[in-house]
Structure 1
Amino acid sequence: MRRFLDEDLSGAEFRECDLSNARLVGVVMQDAVIDGLVTHLVVNGVDVTAYVEEELDRRHPVRPLIRSDDPDDLRRAARQLRADWAATVARIRRTPGLEHVSVGGEWSAEQTLRHLVFVHDSWFRRCCLGSSELFTPMGLGIEGVPDREAQGLDPSADPTLEEVVEVRDQQVTELEGWLDTATAEQLAAPAPVPDDDRWPTYARGRSVAQCLRTVLTEEHEHHGFCVRDLDLVETGASGLPGTG
């Protein structure tokens, strides 16, 4: 166990770190931001996890729909997420160049949309439909995805916003069309993940519904990240010309 004693970590950033079972004792934590998978978080002896989850559900009613086993709820979730992204894309289009702005080292809006192209290919087409086709070249995978080029991704891809949105529209239409006729029994069935070494191999053993929820959750979470950063840009907290 690493131990930090009487050190000044003010302004530090921990990115993609595993802080499970970490203990912060006698610390000063003012204006701190925690963003990630947080469970059983105890603050001064109080487990605040349930409060945080309830507040997130209140702010984002799509969350309980995504967790539901009812196909109608999942259909409603997919439609709501599509509407959310449509509104955000319209917002981006109002400021040319906004799609390329990165805030604090995070993905730009265009990169986020390209990541969701990859999520659809990997977690929906591959895991829900059983497709063994290569991924869409413009898709953007996370660093942990091995052999990205061999799986169809093009690291040199530089699509325009409209090209990305066109692919996204096709993918969302595909998902909604499939979900329109999906039954509870189909969703509960084992995911038909092809028996090869392509991403995500660890999805084997999950249900179709679990894989679908990964897609919908990624859509929701990354939409939140994107809107957060767009808000920062519009308040002058980024390097976009004319906002500072």
Structure 2
Amino acid sequence: MERFEDQDLSGAEFRECDLSRSRLIGVVMQDVVIDGLVTNLVVNGVEVTSYVEAELDRRHPVRLLMRSADPAELREAQRQLSDDWGSTVGRLRALPAGSEHQSVGGEWSAVQTLRHLVFVHDSWFRRCCLGSTRPFTGIGLAPAFVPDQEVLGIDPAASPALDEVVAVRDEQSAELNRWLADVTADDLAAVAPIPTGPGWPPYATGKSVGECLRVVLNENWAHHGFCVRDLEVLEGHGGSPVAAGRS
């Protein structure tokens, strides 16, 4: 275990780091942003994760629908997420040309964020929920830690315009809507029909179809929040352009 003692880490950024079982004793934490998978977080003797989750649910009721096992509620979650993204893309189109490719605080640009959701659909929906073996969409954007991206079908040199990415996202959304229109509770509870052999994600084996679908919905919700956060900066009425968080 690495130990930091009497170190000045002010202004430090930890990105894609595993801080599980970390202990911060006698520290000063002011104006700190924590964004990621956080569970069992104890602050000054109080477990705060449940408070944070409850507040997120209060601010974003769609999260309750996303966690539901009821197909009708999942359809409503997808509808709300699609509407939110439609409004946000409209705001992007109103910005000066090139803003959709602009990074804020080192995060993904809006176009890169949308391209990542193309990848999420290909991996967690088509592969895990449908059992598809078709190549991934070339313009999809995977995190750097995903191996063999070209083997999956991803084009590392892709540089699509906003309209091209939105067209692909619209096609994927229509595909998901068609599937949700007929899916049953039994379908969602079934083991995900993930094809054998290499592919992404490698750790979804044994998950249910519903669990894989919720990854898709949660990624759409979370990354919409990241995009809106940075969009407000680009529009000129947000916070600091050095916005913390993850892409």
> What TM-score comes out, normalization by structure 1 length?
0.96
**Residue 104 of structure 2 is aligned to residue 103 of structure 1:** yes
CA deviations over 1:76-112 (Å, ceiling 9, x no partner): 1000000010000000000122211101111000000
Partner of 1:133: 134
User: Is 1:151 aligned to residue 185 of structure 2?
Assistant: no
Letter in 2 for 1:230: L
Native 8 Å contact 1:102 1:238 kept in 2: no
Partner of 1:183: 184
Number of aligned residue pairs: give it.
239
Secondary structure at the counterpart of residue 201 of structure 1: coil
CA shift, 1:238, in A, is 4.2
Please tell me the residue identity of whatever aligns with 1:139.
Answer: G
**How far, CA to CA, are the matches of 2:131 and 2:5 in structure 1?**
51
Contact 1:65–1:77 (CA under 8 A) maintained in structure 2 = yes
CA distance in 2, matches of 1:146, 1:14: 22
Aligned to 1:242: none
Distance 1:80 1:184 in 2: 20
Write the distance in 1 (CA, Å) between the matches of 2:214 and 2:101: 28
| Aligned counterparts of 2:129 and 2:145: Cα–Cα separation in 1 | 21
Equivalent runs, 1:1-244 vs 2, <5 Å: 1-95=1-95, 96-235=97-236, 237-238=240-241
Counterparts of 2:168 and 2:150 in 1: how far apart (Å)?
A: 19
Which one-letter code corresponds to 2:167 in the other structure? E
Offset of residue 234 of structure 1: 2.3
Which residue identity lines up with residue 18 of structure 1 in the other structure? D
| Separation in 1, partners of 2:137, 2:185 | 29
Distance 1:27 1:229 in 2: 29
Q: Following TM superposition, by how much is the alpha carbon of 1:232 offset from its aligned partner in structure 2, in angstroms?
A: 2.0
Q: d(CA) in 1 for partners of 2:241 and 2:100?
A: 13
Q: Aligned-residue CA RMSD in angstroms?
A: 1.2
Higher relative contact order (CA 8 A, sep 6+): 2
CA distance in 1, matches of 2:32, 2:236: 20
CA displacement 1:89-136 (0-9 Å, x = unmatched): 000000122211101111000000000001101110111111100000
Match for 1:200: what amino acid? P
Decide whether the 8 Å contact of 1:137 with 1:153 is kept in 2. Answer: yes
Instruction: State the 1:201 CA deviation.
Output: 2.2
CA distance in structure 1 between the aligned counterparts of 2:46 and 2:208, rounded to whole angstroms: 34
| Deviation beyond 6 Å, 4+ runs, structure 1 | none
Render the CA deviation track for 1:123-151: whole Å, top value 9, x for unaligned: 10111111100000000011121110011
Aligned residue identity for 2:125: F
- Distance in structure 2 (CA, Å) of the matches to 1:7 and 1:200: 37
SS where residue 136 of structure 2 aligns?
A: coil
String of CA shifts for 1:221-241, please: whole Å, max 9, x gaps: 0000111111122237449xx
In 1, Cα distance between the equivalents of 2:143 and 2:16? Answer: 11
Instruction: Give the match's secondary structure for 1:149.
Output: helix
TM-score, length-normalised on structure 2? 0.94
Amino acid aligned to 1:17: C
